[in-house]
Amino acid sequence: MWDTLWTDIHVATADPARMSEKDGYGCIHNAAIGIENGKICWIGAAKDLPEASQPLARNIYSGHDLWMTPGLVDAHTHVIYAGDRSLEFAERLKGVSYAEIARKGGGILSTVNATRTVSENELFDMTVQRVLRMIAEGTTTIEMKSGYGLTLKDELKQLRVARAIGAALPVRVHTTFLGAHALPPEFKDRQDDYVSHLIKEILPQAAEEKLIDSIDGFCENIAFTTDQIERLFIAASAFKIPVRLHSEQLSNTGGTRLAARYGALSTDHLEYVVEDDVIDLADAGTVAMLLPGAFYFIRETQMPPINLFRKHNVPMGLATDCNPGTSPSVSLTGIMNMACTLFRMTPEETFSAVTRIGAQALGLQNVTGTLTTGRAADMLLWDIAGPHELSYWIGGKRPIQRIFDGKPLPVV
DSSP state of 325: T
Q: Which segments of 270-362 does DSSP mark as H helices, in order?
A: 275-284, 292-297, 306-311, 332-343, 347-353, 356-360
Residue from 45, 19, 41 nearest 32 by CA: 45
The answer to whether 10 and 28 are in contact (CB under 8 A) is yes
Structural Rg of the chain based on CA atoms: 21
Q: Binding site: which residues?
A: 76, 78, 85, 148, 181, 246, 249, 321, 323, 325-326
Neighbours of 275 (CB within 10 A): 11
Q: Give the angle 146-137-123 at the CA atoms, nearest 5°.
A: 30
Task: Write the DSSP string, 356-400.
Answer: HHHHHTTT-TTTSSS-STTSB--EEEE-SSSGGGGGTSSS----S
Whole-angstrom distance, CA of residue 90 vs CA of residue 262: 39
Pairing of strands 57-70, 172-180: unpaired
What are the strands, taking DSSP E only, across 87-154?
139-145
Q: Binding site for N-formimidoyl-L-glutamate: which residues?
A: 148, 323, 325
Q: Is the dihedral of CA 259, 150, 107, 126 positive or negative?
A: positive
Q: Binding site for Zn(2+): which residues?
A: 76, 78, 246, 321
Neighbours of 293 (CB within 10 A): 27
Q: Binding site for Fe(3+): which residues?
A: 76, 78, 246, 321
SS3 content of the chain, % helix, strand, coil (to 5): 40, 25, 40
Whole-angstrom distance, CA of residue 180 vs CA of residue 371: 36
The answer to whether 96 and 398 are in contact (CB under 8 A) is no
Element (H, E) at 92: helix 86-93
Q: Binding site for 4-imidazolone-5-propanoate: which residues?
A: 85, 148, 181, 249, 326
Whole-angstrom distance, CA of residue 243 vs CA of residue 356: 19
DSSP state of 201: I
Element (H, E) at 44: strand 39-45
